[in-house]
Amino acid sequence: MGNIKPEQLELWDKEYIWHPFTQMSEYRKEKSLIIERGEGSYLFDVEGNKYLDGISSLWVTVHGHGKEEINRVIKKQLDKVAHSTLLGLANIPSILLAKKLVEITPEGLNKVFYSESGSTAVEIALKIAYQYWQQKDGGKYKSKRKFISLVNAYHGDTIGSVSVGGIDLFHKIFAPLLFETISAPAPYCYRCPLDLTAENCSMQCAGHLESILAAHQDEIAGVVIEPLVQGAAGMIVAPEGYLTRVRELCTRYNVLLIADEVAVGFGRTGKMFACEHEDVKPDIMCLAKGITGGYLPLAATLTTDEIYNAFLGRIEEFKTFFHGHTYTGNPLGCAAALANLELFEKENLLDALQEKISFLSEGLKKFKTLNHVGDVRQKGMMVGIELVENKETKEPFPVEANIPHRVILEARKNGLIIRPLGNVIVLMPILSMSLPELQAVLDITYAAIKKVTGEKYLC
């Protein structure tokens, strides 16, 4: 492949590949950025250009690209076996990883069900929760069939995870395919759905959730939530205490709390898992993205013994969880995940993050002075910078101006890869980035926003 010219690769890219979340008619007009290799915090394209990876290759890369310790473990496992099914068999890396996940996740999550992506982890959680209530206490709770999720939620792109999603841009067209859910207000403080301000808010969004639970508790199987940060909605950070309140309500009204930690897990918020910030113990937890440090696709859905035990019985009772994936518990992925978690401990990564989080927080202050930055949100190493046409009215830029995309293209010219979510510029730096590299991420992003929003933006 080394002697194929970049121009030929670009032609084939545009001829054969359908890129996700991408309007291909627009993409085909632009020059393709084709990545050839990665090293540390950087990605290199086929022309030799170097870019800081400001989105951790879609929120997954933890210790950097080409981390020798992870590479070595994957190669060692590859010499033994690349894959062996987990349907009726076991393999060593999946056993060791399951034990480790139980040890590091919130207390009570003692059983691990593997899959390959965040979407499937959530899909599994929904099916487990549903079947649990159907089988618990001889079917006493069979009416508990529905799920509550939040407005602006994103839990993946399979049909079940879309059903509990709340972003119309992504999900509305699929409405006829989805099962019925109940939507609760999200804690989006910058654009409060209840028209409240910080001064007169006493977390009424949680009060609305309680009203729903009180009215429908006999129908509700679970509440699905992204703890602390709604990622794909634009890095919407929940106020302190909101997650605790949700846990209390789920306990009071006898519904399962499903914590989707796909995006926020593995150090992104400054702790290993977002639930730890408020000492919340969910009934089901979904993990993916950073689980292998960004090396191989792997996901896990963890549950309590109480839930697991509802699936035990005689063969003729058919209480089995009839669900599985071809690459469930893939040994290569599990080996990479074990190496990733070992590095967290060896390099004391979580403690090292605290200085970086403070550094980012300080550096983000200047963004608030820009004329077209309405809000800056941060939780740990997760950042959302919301662009607006009018700062006073919070009016967004017109879609046709394509301002967020123009910002990321401007940043790309200066050696930084980032992506927008709607009108929000997202920064999700690799956790191992140095302070000078983080400063470069901030400087390039600031300059790009200032330049693009300062231009005459209507085409």
Residue 26 contacts by C-beta under 8 Å, 6 or more apart in sequence? none
- Note the pLDDT of residue 277: 98
Beta strands in 254-339 (DSSP E): 256-260, 284-287, 299-304
- Give the tokens for residue 433: 């980035």
- Give the tokens for residue 65: 């690209």
- Give the tokens for residue 252: 């009071």
User: Domain end: 321, 346, 371, which one?
Assistant: 346
For position 184, which CATH number holds? 3.40.640.10
Q: How confident is the model at residue 287 (pLDDT cuts 50, 70, 90)?
A: very high
Q: What average pLDDT does the chain have?
A: 95
User: Domain end: 325, 346, 367, which one?
Assistant: 346
Residue 174 belongs to what domain range? Answer: 71-346
- Note the pLDDT of residue 359: 98
- Note the pLDDT of residue 226: 98
- Note the pLDDT of residue 1: 56
pLDDT at residue 414 greater than cutoff 60: yes
Residue 84 contacts by C-beta under 8 Å, 6 or more apart in sequence? 91, 331
pLDDT at residue 125 greater than cutoff 60: yes
- Note the pLDDT of residue 402: 94
Residue-wise pLDDT for 77-99, tens only, equals 999 999 999 999 999 999 999 99
- Note the pLDDT of residue 309: 97
In a domain, 24, yes or no: no
Q: How confident is the model at residue 299 (pLDDT cuts 50, 70, 90)?
A: very high
Q: Are residues 84 and 143 in the same domain?
A: yes
In a domain, 8, yes or no: no
Beta strands in 11-161 (DSSP E): 35-39, 42-45, 50-53, 109-115, 146-150
Q: Are residues 364 and 336 in the same domain?
A: no
pLDDT at residue 361 greater than cutoff 90: yes
Q: Are residues 260 and 393 in the same domain?
A: no
Residue 123 contacts by C-beta under 8 Å, 6 or more apart in sequence? 115, 156, 158, 159, 160, 161
Q: Are residues 51 and 149 in the same domain?
A: no
Identify the CA nearest to 214 among candidates 178, 249, 258, 177.
249
Q: How confident is the model at residue 455 (pLDDT cuts 50, 70, 90)?
A: low
- Note the pLDDT of residue 27: 95
For position 399, which CATH number holds? 3.90.1150.10
Identify the CA nearest to 104 among candidates 331, 290, 366.
290
- Give the tokens for residue 319: 């209480």
In a domain, 10, yes or no: no
pLDDT at residue 261 greater than cutoff 80: yes
Q: How confident is the model at residue 2 (pLDDT cuts 50, 70, 90)?
A: low
Residue-wise pLDDT for 126-144, tens only, equals 999 999 999 999 989 999 9
In a domain, 22, yes or no: no
Q: Are residues 334 and 362 in the same domain?
A: no
User: pTM above the 0.85 mark?
Assistant: yes
Residue-wise pLDDT for 154-180, tens only, equals 999 999 999 999 998 899 999 999 999
**How many domains would you assign to the chain?**
2
Q: Are residues 334 and 368 in the same domain?
A: no
- Note the pLDDT of residue 195: 79
Q: Are residues 188 and 268 in the same domain?
A: yes
Q: Are residues 340 and 395 in the same domain?
A: no
In a domain, 228, yes or no: yes
User: Domain end: 281, 312, 346, which one?
Assistant: 346
In a domain, 208, yes or no: yes
Q: Are residues 390 and 338 in the same domain?
A: no
Q: Are residues 306 and 383 in the same domain?
A: no
Q: Are residues 322 and 437 in the same domain?
A: no
In a domain, 298, yes or no: yes
Question: What is the number of H-type helices and E-type strands within the chain?
Answer: 15, 17
Residue-wise pLDDT for 42-61, tens only, equals 999 999 999 999 999 999 99
In a domain, 449, yes or no: yes
Mean predicted confidence (pLDDT) in 305-333: 96
For residue 204, the surrounding DSSP H or E stretch is helix 204-216
pLDDT at residue 459 greater than cutoff 50: no
- Note the pLDDT of residue 11: 97
Q: Are residues 234 and 364 in the same domain?
A: no
85 burial class (0-12, 13-18, 19+ CB within 10 angstroms)? middle
Residue-wise pLDDT for 190-233, tens only, equals 998 887 776 677 788 898 999 999 999 999 999 999 999 999 99
Q: Which residue reads 């590479």 in tokens?
A: 71
